Amino acid sequence: MNSAISEQHLNRTAYVYVRQSTLAQVRHHQESTERQYALQQKALELGWREPSVQILDRDLGKSGAQIAGREDFKTLVAEVSMGQVGAVFALEVSRLARSNLDWHRLLELCALTGTLVIDEDGCYNPADFNDGLLLGLKGTMAQAELHLLRGRLLGGKLNKARKGELPVTPPKIAFTVKLPSSLAIQVRRYAARTRHSLSDVVSHALTVALDRGRRHG
C-alpha cells in the first residue's frame, strides 16, 4: 500500500471519475474509456474494499471546460466538501477539469478534507505543498492543452475556408406573407382541392413569381 494512504482514507469512499469529452470519443476511443474503468481495480489493489469504490460515469460525452452540465463532477465536489471521500481516482487531471477555476476549487476542498488525488502517474496529497504545486501545474497544462486544441481546429477550418473547401450550411429563412382576403380564399380552396398545405402553395406561387421576374428583368 502507498505510504500516503492511511486507514482514514481507506475508511472513506474512493470515487473513480470517468469522462470523455464527446460522444464520438466514447464510441471510437474505447481503449481510453476501458483504462478509466480499470481504475476501480487499482483502488482495490491499494486497499479499498469493493463496496467503498464508486464509479462516476454520467459525464461521458461532456466537455471538462466548464462545470455546467457535468452532474457527476458536481456530485464529486459535494462529497469531497463533506469529508466523505478518501481518494479521487482519474486517469489524468484533464478528465476531472480543463478549467483552472474548477480544478483549483476541487484541490482546495481536497486539501481541507484530507482527500487524496490519484491518477495514472501517482498518488498526491493536495495538502502537501509539493504535491499541491505539482497538481496545480497539471491543471494549468490541461487548460493550456484545451486552448491549443481549439486553436488547431480553428486553424484547420480557416485553411479550408481560404481554399473554398469549407462546407457551409445556408441559414433557413422564415417569413410571413399577408395575402388580400380574396386571394387568400382562392389559395385555401386550391390547397383543399390539391391536398397541399397552405405554406407549400404560397411557397410555390412565390417561386414562380420570382422566376418570372428574373426572366423578364
How high does pLDDT run on average in the chain? Answer: 81
> Of the candidates 188, 183, 214, which has an alpha carbon nearest to the alpha carbon of residue 200?
188
pLDDT at 124: 93
Give the Cα separation of 197 and 190 in Å (integer).
Answer: 10
- Spot the catalytic one: 21, 94, 181, 203: 21
Q: Is the pLDDT assigned to residue 108 strictly greater than 80?
A: yes
Q: d(Cα 214, Cα 217) in Å, to the nearest integer?
A: 5
Place of cell 386550391: 190
Phi, psi of 30 (to 5 degrees): -70, -25
What pLDDT, on a 0 to 100 scale, did the predictor assign at position 216?
Answer: 65
pLDDT tens sequence across 118-139: 998 899 999 999 998 888 888 7
Q: Average pLDDT of 59-83?
A: 87
- 21 labelled catalytic: yes
Per residue in 155-176, pLDDT tens?
A: 777 777 777 777 777 666 665 6
User: Is the pTM higher than 0.85?
Assistant: no
Asked whether residue 114 carries a pLDDT value surpassing 80, the answer given is: yes
At 7 the pLDDT is: 94
